[in-house]
Structure formats: structure tokens, C-alpha cells
Amino acid sequence: MTAQHSVKLVPWDDQEFVHAYERAAAALAAKGMSLEDPVAPVEIQRHLRTEGYPNATCYCEHSVELALARRSRCVVTRDGEPVSLLQH
């Protein structure tokens, strides 16, 4: 069973930021990591900050339901603004 991922980008309409996230995700995959790895949010955040987004944050939600369903749900913000948790 393949893991499914959902990512919420804030702001989603900043194309430069979206492309920076895509590069961060590709770098993560090149290291053989996925969003399920505990250090994945740190790696994405670090990559975005080195690409010129010093306030970027990334966190992934973890729950028993998500783990059993092999799903990952992450929030990536450009400006470090607090974001409400994703709804199930």
C-alpha cells in the first residue's frame, strides 16, 4: 500500500514559494525520505529557509488514524503564521 500525502501550502498562490516547496520535496525524496519520516518537516523547513524564506515553517500532523491509513498531512507556511490544524 502506497502512502498518501496531503500538503497545505500557505500562501498557496505564491508561485515562487510553491516552486521552492516543490524543490524541497524533491530534495527530500532524493535523500530517500518521505513525509512520514519524523525529520521530514525539519528538512523541508531548513531547505525553504536556505532558499530565502527565513520564517518558513513546516509541521506534519500525526494520529493513530493517519498512521493506520498510511497518510501524511503537513502544513507548510511561508511567513511562520500560525495555521489551524487540518480537518480529518
What is the pLDDT, as a whole number, of residue 65?
A: 78
What is the b/e burial string over 48-71, where b = at least 16 CB atoms within 10 angstroms of the residue's CB?
beebebeebbbbbeeeeebeeeeb
What is the pLDDT, as a whole number, of residue 1?
A: 47
Global pTM reads: 0.79
What is the pLDDT, as a whole number, of residue 31?
A: 93
What is the pLDDT, as a whole number, of residue 88?
A: 46
Q: What is the percent of the chain where pLDDT is above 90? A: 55
Ranges under pLDDT 50 in the chain: 1, 86, 88
Between the two ends of the chain, the Cα-to-Cα distance in Å is: 20
